Amino acid sequence: MGMVEIIGISAGVLTTAGIIPQIFKAYNTKKVEGLSPVMFSILTIGVGLWVWYGIEKEDMPIIVMNGISFSLNALMLLLYFRFK
Task: Return d(Cα 31, Cα 4) in angstroms, integer.
Answer: 39
Alpha carbon separation from 1 to 6, 61, 75 (Å, rounded) = 7, 12, 32
Query: What radius of gyration do the chain's Cα atoms show?
Result: 14
- Least Å distance, CB 20 to a copy of itself, is 8
Chain residues in the site for a copy of itself (CB under 8 A): 3-4, 7-8, 10-22, 24-26, 29, 31-36, 38-40, 42-43, 45-50, 52-53, 56-57
- Least Å distance, CB 55 to a copy of itself, is 9
- Least Å distance, CB 38 to a copy of itself, is 4
